[in-house]
Amino acid sequence: MNVFPELLIRLLAKAERVAVLTGAGVSRESGLQTFREAQTGLWAQFKPEELATPEAFAKDPQLVWDWYAWRREAVKAARPNPGHIALAAMERKIPKFTLATQNVDGLHRLAGSENVLELHGSIMRVRCSECGLRAEFWEEGGGVPRCESCGGLLRPDVVWFGEPLPADELQQARLAAREAQVFISAGTSGVVYPAAGLPFSAKSVGATVVEINAEPTPFTPSADFSFQGKSGEILPALFNAVWG
């Protein structure tokens, strides 16, 4: 059980504007693997950074498509954990609450969060790699499905390494980080940019920054409050300490 500093409790209790950045660590307790841990089974021989690229898809579309189909099945079986639920509850207590996530699993919205910025897209959405048309449904099980409109190969609607983030979501996240009185970074290794720059940006304009992560990150030395442990335990405990 975490004992939270009185100062942090008071800051959150009276905060009007809070911004949050989450990473794969927040979905770990829903049973979804993070990017840094070794993959299991068939995928153990691959590193995510090598598969989540346009080059990998161009070289072997079937391999990359199958990796995402495998991950999509895991996401479909996953449920929001107490960390997701605590963030959704926090949003209902804070007048201006923005949740920017690097996760592509959709679990924040499933937990009831409303103002969610999916900085890296969604694994549950698919788009044409040629014309960009989004496909609501597609044939699974065969080869890489093709676009009904132009015949191009379909791909997951996620942001790969080397690809730009969706401009609108990134701009909103950057604005929220600059306006936040409190910024919470949860479950992210803080190595992937530009998302990893958000807590630094909040800090640079005077926000109080809280980090919740299983291990130290490059941001830890800059955090005003840093809690090392499971976000599925720390986030609910923090919510209860402030609004319990």
Look up 120 and say whether it is catalytic: yes
Binding status of residue 223 toward Zn ion by CB under 5 A: no
Give CA–CA dist 124/134, Å, rounded: 11
Q: Which of 230, 238, 239, 242 binds ligand BV8 (CB under 6 A)?
A: 230
Q: Find the binder of ligand BV8 among 8, 12, 20, 24 (CB under 6 A).
A: 24
Asked if 146 contacts 123 with a C-beta cutoff of 8 angstroms, the reply is no
Q: Which is nearer to ligand BV8, 159 or 181 (CB)?
A: 159
Window 179-218: residues binding ligand BV8 (CB under 6 A): 187-189, 191-193, 195, 213-215, 217
173 binds Zn ion (CB under 5 A): no
Q: Which residue is nearest to ligand BV8 (CB)?
A: 25
Binding segment for ligand BV8 among 86-94, 130-138, 147-155, 229-237 (CB under 6 A)?
229-237
Q: Give the separation between CA 17 and CA 182, rounded to whole angstroms.
A: 7
Task: Closer to ligand BV8 by CB, 160 or 183: give it.
Answer: 160
Helix (H) or strand (E) holding 13: helix 6-14
Contact call for residue 77 and Zn ion (CB under 5 A): no
Give backbone dihedrals phi and psi of 15, rounded to 5 degrees, phi first.
-65, 140
Q: Per CB under 5 A, which of residues 102..141 are in contact with Zn ion?
A: 128, 130-131, 133
CB 127 within 8 A of CB 21: no
**Residue 86 contact, options Zn ion, ligand BV8, none, Cβ 5-8 Å cut-off depending on partner type:** none
Least CB distance to Zn ion at residue 151 (A): 7
Angle at CA 207, nearest 5°, toward 25 and 225?
Answer: 50
- Is residue 212 classed as helix, strand or coil in its secondary structure? strand
Exactly one of 84, 120, 127, 146 is catalytic; name it.
Answer: 120
Give the whole-angstrom CA distance, residue 219 versus residue 156. 30
Rounded alpha-carbon distances, angstroms, from residue 162 to 11, 81, 158? 38, 31, 12
Cα first-last separation, the chain: 14
- Catalytic residues, by residue number, are 120
Residues that bind ligand BV8 (CB under 6 A): 23-25, 28-29, 34-36, 52, 102, 104, 120, 158-164, 187-189, 191-193, 195, 213-215, 217, 230-232
